[in-house]
Every structure is written in C-alpha cells, then in structure tokens.
A and B are shown apart, each in its own frame.
Chain A
Amino acid sequence: MLLDYDRMGWLRVALLGFTVLVAAFLLLPVVFIVLLSFGSSRWLAFPPPGWTLKWYGELFADPAWLEAALTSARIATITAMLAVLIGLLASFALVRGHFRGREILRGLLLTPMVLPVVVFAIAIYAFFLRLGLGGTTIGFVVAHTVLALPFAVIPIATALEGFDKSIEDAAIVCGASPLEAKLRITLPSIRIGIFSAAIFSFLASWDEVVVAIFMASPTLQTLPVKIWGSLRSDLSPVIAAASSLLVVLTLALMAVTALLRRKFRT
C-alpha cells in the first residue's frame, strides 16, 4: 500500500519525519537571515547577544541601497511588461499556428532558460560593449527580456492550450470581431497564465545576478549587483537587513498569488 496514505503504517511515520526535516532545511536559511538582521552582533554571532534595529538604520541611511532597489524595480517592471507582451503574441503563434518547424522555434525561444547564464552574460556583454549599450537601462532591459521570455511563454502557452477555442469562435459567430473576441473572451480566460508570466518574468529580472554583474557600471547597478559587491567585501549584517526585506517581498508576492488564484477560480 505504498501510495495509500492511510495504510502505510511505520513507513508513513518515517517518510513524514523525513519530509518535515527537509522542509526545515529549506526554511532554515530564510528564517535565519531574518533573525540575524535583528541581532546586535556585527560579527554575526548567533544567537545574538542582543536585538537591534541598527542594521535597518544603516541600510536606509545609505542612499546607494535605495537607488539600487529602485533601479532593479524599474528594470524588472519594464522587462516583465515586454516579456508578457512578446510572450503573449508568441504563445498564440506557437499554440494555434500551423507551420513547419513550430517545435524547433518553440525550442529556440526556450533556450535562454537552459543555456548557462554565464555564457549568455559574456556573449551579450561583448556584444553590448561594441554597440555602446553596456551599463545602460536599455541594455539591461533587452538582456533581461531575452532571459525572461521563456518564463512568460511557458505559463501563457500552457493556459492557452487548456482554453477551448470554440468559445472564441462562438463570440465571432455572434458578431464580435476576431480581435474583440480575443481581448474580451480569450485573454480574460487565460489570465492566470498571464499573471504567472508577469510574476515569473519580473522575478527573472529582479533576481538576476550574472548578466547584471557584467553589465553594471558604477552609475547603474541593480540590487543583486549591490548585494554581490557587499558580499565580496564583507558579510555585514546590513546585507541581512536588505535580505530580510527581500524575504518580506517574496511573502507578499506569494500572498498576492494565492489570493488572485483563489479569486480567479471562483
């Protein structure tokens, strides 16, 4: 009875115990970093000798952190909008189009997700050096959109595959123009896919480190570049404070996702 939860006996106890351990392992660094950010030890002693908000104070006192966060937010927002738009158009073609080589083209669009980022990073770095786009917002957005596109295409194409096209056809039979039918029938029906695409492509840019390290200039750096730089010089608790705010952001994103999914289902 290996797949019957109620009749597994001792095996269930063992597997459940193991699952709890792994969940604890996955949770450990996240909880640890939040606790650490309130600890008073500059040398990251744990458990800390006392509790403090000092590191958050230092974080907000340094305008470079805020500036990096705003740069990241700006680049990730534009990237997500572009990736969703381009990904939406591409998904319609990939799911509904009839042409030779469709699978190959799908594979090509998904390749940036598979190729090691470091290869793409040095390739686009060299390319943008020549075009004079290194260290510019446009350069960042273009490179991140290439990386984010697969994360937009997959959920949208999946949602579109699950949508019954005859409903769209029915709207057209009832007098809607093809564009109107798509905008008012199809898009609302696949909104979970579009929404997932937006979240994933935003995160793909927001969390992106490797391309950003190569692309950044002294005047334009994203939050991961700022964290990377600090990590390489010391393990200051200020990084823990910044990291904790990122954890809060992740939790907020998860909450919004859960809420919207519930709302979309009903």
Chain B
Amino acid sequence: MPAGFGGLLPALILVTLFFVVPVLALLLRSVTGPEPGFQNYATLLGDGTYARVFFNTFLVASVVTIVTVLVAFPVAWMLAIMPSALASIVFGVIILSMWTNLLTRTYAWMVLLQRTGVINRTLMDIGLISTPLPLINNLTGVTIGMVYIMLPFMILPLVGTLRAIDPMTLRAAALCGASPFDAFCRILLPLSLPGIAAGGLMVFVMSLGYFVTPALLGGTSNMMLAEMIAQMIQSLLNWGLGSAAAFILLVVTMALYALQLRLVGAGRATGGV
C-alpha cells in the first residue's frame, strides 16, 4: 500500500458502500425498471409534460443565478474594502442567515409572500398595487426564496476574489486617465470574472437540484426537477422513471461541476465552506 494511504480507507469504504454503490444501483434501476431498455429516458425526453419541468428548472436556475450575481457583486465589493468593524457586522448578518435552519427561512418567506402577507399588505398600503400580487405557489416565489438562500454562497467567495485585486492597478489606471467607468469595465470586472464565473456556476448547479424551497414556495403546476423526482418515487412509486430523471440531473450536475473544477482548481470549487 502506498505511503499515507491507510488514513483514507475508512472514508473510502463509507463513501463507496453508502454513496457510490447506492447511486449506481439507482442508475441500473433506470434501465431495468420495469423492464430492460431505455424506455424511461425516451418517455422523459419525449413527453411535453416533462419537457416543461426541465424548462422550468433551467429557467429558475438561470434567473436565480443572474439575480444572485447582480446583487452579490456590489455587496462583496463593499465588504472587500470596508473598515473591518463595519464589515464584520455585515458578515455576521450573512452568517446568521446562512446558518439559520433552511426550513425556518423558507417558512418565513411562505408567510411573508402569501396573499395577505406583510409584503402584499405594505405594497397595498402605500398604494403601489390595488390587488395582492401572486407571490407564492409560482416561479416568482421560488425565485425570491432561492435568491435569498444562494446569496451568501455568492457573496463570501467573491469577497476573496475582490480582496485579491491589488488596488494599485486601479490607481495606475486613474493616473493614466481612465474614468471610473472605464476602470470598472476594463480592470475591476475582468479581474473579478473568475470569481463571478465560479460562484455563479456553483449557484446554478445548486439551484438545478434544489428540492426544499421549490417544493414549499412553488406551485403544483410549475414543478421543478428535484420535486418531480421525489414525487415519482414517493407518491407514484415509479422507480424506473424517477431513477432516470435522477440520473439526468446527476449527469448535468457533474458535467457543470467538472467545468467549475477546471475554472478554479480542485478543493476551492466548493467555496471553501
């Protein structure tokens, strides 16, 4: 046995036996249940109902990613250069939100976004709208809830990227006559692009397979992929179709993860937790 390998054995046994094997068994089930063949995949890819679920999933994941990047960038920018006393308050808020139980946060949004909820009431009181907006049980609700959950995952790694940029490069640009707008477009943004791409890809991947928030804030007519998989197994007991859908999700996720690894290098792809 090669030097220093022994320590890996418990972890490898655990992951192989209770992760790799079950996932492979599931894959096998997608081409054997109820009978051998690829009919489950043909059903999933050929049917308009399922196409709609795939479309919803990609749409929500894309919108969530774009909004998260746009909101996270200015915040990360400020956090990177703020006086540390001030920054630590904002970091505290981010950690509190991130560490608070997922269901707690989603429950809060369920109450806030409902027809008679605080947000609709406030908007009506100040006269912006006259009838309540449909903010829940649709893709709007899912998007708001998902952006909320994804923001810390985008802000925290971006702060690192922005801190690594030498302020001198920007000073030099200013000395050479670049306007702040030029300096932003031609220096700050390109230099932070690797961080934005890596973080954005992570948010996109996480959003694709997210279950809890879409299941609670979304509607029955606009299901997302993870929820559909759970329903196929839990309510319909259709293991073949459910496993095939799960395997499609797995392939897409892993392909994007591999892309992300190439962007940032192994070990840092996960945002450093």
What is the interface of chain A, defined by CB distance below 8 A to chain B?
1-5, 11, 15-16, 18-19, 22-23, 25-30, 32-33, 36, 43-46, 85-87, 89-94, 96-100, 103, 105-127, 142-143, 145-146, 149-151, 153-155, 157-158, 196, 200, 203, 207, 209-210, 213-214, 224, 227-228, 231, 235, 239-240, 243, 246-247, 250-251, 253-254
Contact = CB atoms under 8 A, between A and B. Distances in A.
B75 A22 contact: yes
Say whether chain A's binding surface is mostly helix, strand, loop, or mixed.
helix
B270 A110 contact: yes
B105 A30 contact: yes
A228 B216 CA distance: 9
14 contacts: A4-B171, A33-B111, A86-B11, A94-B8, A97-B4, A114-B257, A119-B229, A120-B22, A123-B26, A149-B14, A209-B211, A224-B102, A227-B107, A243-B101
Interface size band for B: 35 or more
Contact of B19 (A89, A90, A106, A146): A146
Given A29-B108, A106-B266, A231-B107, A90 B250 contact: no
A70 to B, nearest CB: 16
A86 B10 contact: yes
Contacts of A227: 101, 103-104, 107
Contact of A93 (B7, B20, B21, B90): B7
Contacts of B19: 111-112, 120, 124, 146
A127 B22 contact: yes
Contact of A99 (B5, B95, B205): B5
B246 to A, nearest CB: 5
Contact of A150 (B148, B253, B270): B270
Nearest to B97: A26
A155 B273 contact: yes
A23 B93 contact: yes
B203 interface: no
A57 B94 CA distance: 31
B229 to A, nearest CB: 5
Contacts of A36: 108, 111
B148 A26 contact: yes
Contacts of A153: 11
Given A32-B112, A93-B8, A26 B101 contact: no
A27 B97 contact: yes
Interface stretch (B35-43, B44-52, B77-85, B127-135): B77-85
B108 A26 contact: no
Contacts of A207: 101-103
Contact of B103 (A5, A123, A149, A231): A231
A205 to B, nearest CB: 12
B177 interface: no
Contacts of B254: 114-115
B45 to A, nearest CB: 18
B246 A251 contact: no
Contacts of A196: 273
B112 A19 contact: no
B112 A97 contact: no
A146 B257 contact: no
Interface of B: 2-12, 14-15, 18-23, 25-26, 29, 71, 74-75, 77-83, 89-90, 92-97, 99-112, 114, 116-118, 121, 148, 151-152, 162, 165, 167, 170-171, 174, 180, 183-184, 187-188, 205, 208-212, 216, 226, 229-230, 233-234, 239, 242-243, 246-247, 249-250, 253-254, 257, 261, 266-267, 270, 272-273
Nearest to B205: A114
A16 B250 contact: no
Contacts of B92: 254
Contacts of A45: 116
Contacts of B111: 32-33, 36, 44, 46, 235, 240
Given A119-B250, A149-B15, A27 B273 contact: no
Nearest to B184: A2
A175 to B, nearest CB: 23
Given A29-B108, A207-B102, A97 B5 contact: yes
A107 B12 CA distance: 11
A237 to B, nearest CB: 9
A46 B114 CA distance: 12
Shortest 4 CB-CB distances between A and B: which pairs? Answer: A116-B209, A97-B4, A29-B108, A93-B7
